């Protein structure tokens, strides 16, 4: 008998503790924007994860075209869901429930995913959860880091959202602590990137060029951090002033016939946005006595933000959990994981006639 199995016998509690793979099998389906995605989760264990993106089809328009994205979802739904089940060695009869993003997102895109998921649920006789996509970005971290502590705070940053959430119980108790009053962080990066001539989505280009530039070259404002506005909105964000300041600076250089130092512009923008996001998120953790900060959404791939948060978390003694990039961007695993949380918490499934909600409030975890 080895040392390890001996100690397991001495401590029978270990045998009865929940393992990540204990729990219901959930098929998660995502179609809020330009990714058609499906995944299978058992408990907190990821069994498969399939993503098809229509991003390339939008690039020449400089942004996501809802009609094109909806059509792409209609094309990809069956292949993506079939592959997610096949990769997990399952068919629909092995699944305990289906979860699908019901909002927030583009209405036509949501309609495709929700209609497909409802048809599957109805024909296979399975319960269905219409879940909140943004809260899915919080839930997905459990696949990498394990359970969420009760005092969790979450910073969700994407092309459409910049929000601070207080998550006491991911299935039943999520509150909005702050959000952007205008542009989301990703939207701000995409708009500046367009001005600099980068293709859509421009966020990753700003990131890469910013790594080689001087972050102090331009004085970029830090929205809602100072004076009365800062005091009135301690946990809200504003990025439209940031975008305008950078645009004016670039246009003035061009008007004078001067070169635009692209790396410096990117570095200064990235520094301003990463500083504001990390400072406000850590301040909110202190205010709400949270020792865990979850970070999610496509923009959390940003290297300047990841570094600023890791450093601020170390200084403040806060456990900052930023998942690997594939779990930051939109995927089916986030939907399946939240479905698993809902089912395990005993939350009733959604009625089969639940609607989509393109502006689904962030304190609503699922549709009734
Ligand atoms: O969550 P997401 O995949 O889709 C939604 O908007 O819901 O986020 C996409 C956003 C885009 O604005 C994109 O430019 C931005 O995330 N993004 C980044 C990086 N990677 C993606 N922004 C800055 N740095 C990055 N490395
Ligand atoms: Zn998202």
DSSP calls for 56-76 = HHHGGGTS--HHHHHHHHHHH
CATH fold, domain 3-140+327-344, is Nucleotidyltransferase; domain 5 (3.30.420)
| Average of per-residue pLDDT across 51-72 | 91
What pLDDT does 59 receive?
A: 84
Distance CA 67, CA 94 (A): 34
Same fold, 3-140+327-344 and 152-322: yes
* Interval between CA 5 and ligand 1 midpoint (Å): 46
**Category of 201 on φ-ψ map: left (φ > 0), alpha (ψ -120 to 50) or beta:** beta
* Interval between CA 17 and ligand 1 midpoint (Å): 37
- Of all protein residues, the one whose alpha carbon is nearest to atom 5 of ligand 1 is 159
Is a pLDDT exceeding 50 seen at residue 7? no
Which ligand does the CA of 33 lie closest to? 1
**Contact in structure between 246 and 280 (CB atoms under 8 Å):** no
What pLDDT does 2 receive?
A: 34
Is a pLDDT exceeding 80 seen at residue 18? no
- Determine the residue of 33, 64, 132, 186 to mutate for testing ligand 1's pocket, defined as the one with the most ligand atoms within 8 A of the Cβ atom: 186
What is the rounded average pLDDT for all residues in the chain? 93
Q: Where do the structural domains in the chain lie, given as residue ranges?
A: 3-140+327-344, 152-322
For 226, other C-beta atoms within 10 Å of its C-beta total 10
Which ligand does the CA of 193 lie closest to? 1
Is a pLDDT exceeding 90 seen at residue 206? yes
Per-residue DSSP letters for 184-211?
Answer: -HHHHHHHHHHHTTPPSS-HHHHHHHHT
- Determine the residue of 101, 135, 137, 159 to mutate for testing ligand 1's pocket, defined as the one with the most ligand atoms within 8 A of the Cβ atom: 159
Residues constituting the chain = 368
* Interval between CA 105 and ligand 2 midpoint (Å): 9
Distance CA 243, CA 269 (A): 8
Is a pLDDT exceeding 60 seen at residue 10? no
- Of all protein residues, the one whose alpha carbon is nearest to atom 6 of ligand 1 is 159
pTM exceeding 0.85: yes
**Contact in structure between 218 and 249 (CB atoms under 8 Å):** yes
Distance CA 117, CA 78 (A): 10
* Interval between CA 300 and ligand 1 midpoint (Å): 7
At the top level of CATH, the class of 152-322 is alpha beta
- Confidence label for 14 from pLDDT (cuts 50, 70 and 90): very low
Atom of ligand 1 nearest to the CA of 34: 4
Is a pLDDT exceeding 60 seen at residue 15? no
Closest by alpha carbon to 361, among 209, 175, 180? 175
What pLDDT does 16 receive?
A: 53
**Contact in structure between 298 and 325 (CB atoms under 8 Å):** no
What pLDDT does 3 receive?
A: 35
For 4, other C-beta atoms within 10 Å of its C-beta total 7
């Amino acid at each position: 008998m080895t040392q390890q199995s001996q100690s397991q016998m001495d401590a029978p509690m270990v045998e009865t503790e929940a393992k990540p793979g204990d729990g219901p099998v959930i098929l998660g389906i995502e179609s809020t924007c330009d990714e058609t995605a499906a995944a299978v989760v058992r408990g907190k264990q990821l069994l498969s994860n399939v993503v098809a993106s229509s991003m390339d089809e939008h690039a020449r328009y400089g942004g996501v075209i809802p009609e094109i994205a909806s059509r792409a979802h209609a094309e990809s739904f069956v292949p993506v869901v079939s592959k997610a089940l096949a990769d997990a060695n399952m068919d629909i009869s092995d699944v305990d429930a289906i979860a699908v993003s019901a909002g927030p997102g583009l209405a036509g895109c949501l309609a495709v995913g929700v209609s497909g998921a409802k048809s599957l649920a109805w024909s296979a006789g399975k319960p269905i959860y219409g879940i909140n996509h943004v809260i899915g970005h919080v839930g997905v971290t459990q696949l990498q880091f394990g359970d969420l502590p009760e005092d969790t705070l979450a910073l969700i940053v994407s092309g459409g959202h910049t929000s601070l959430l207080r998550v006491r119980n991911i299935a039943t108790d999520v509150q909005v602590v702050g959000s952007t009053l205008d542009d989301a962080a990703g939207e701000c990066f995409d708009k500046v990137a367009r001005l600099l001539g980068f293709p859509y989505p421009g966020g990753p280009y700003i990131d890469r060029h910013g790594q080689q530039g001087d972050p102090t070259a331009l004085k970029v404002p830090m929205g809602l951090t100072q004076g009365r506005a800062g005091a009135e909105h301690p946990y809200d964000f504003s990025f439209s002033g940031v975008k305008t300041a950078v645009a004016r600076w670039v246009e003035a250089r061009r008007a004078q016939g001067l070169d635009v130092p692209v790396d410096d512009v990117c570095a200064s923008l990235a520094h301003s946005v990463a500083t504001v996001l990390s400072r406000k998120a850590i301040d909110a953790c202190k205010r709400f006595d949270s020792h865990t900060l979850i970070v999610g959404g496509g923009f959390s791939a940003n290297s300047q933000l990841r570094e600023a948060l890791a450093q601020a978390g170390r200084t403040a003694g806060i456990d900052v959990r930023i998942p690997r990039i594939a779990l930051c961007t939109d995927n089916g695993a986030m939907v399946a994981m939240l479905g698993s949380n809902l089912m395990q918490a005993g939350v009733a499934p959604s009625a089969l006639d639940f609607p989509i909600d393109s502006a689904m409030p962030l304190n609503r975890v699922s549709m009734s």
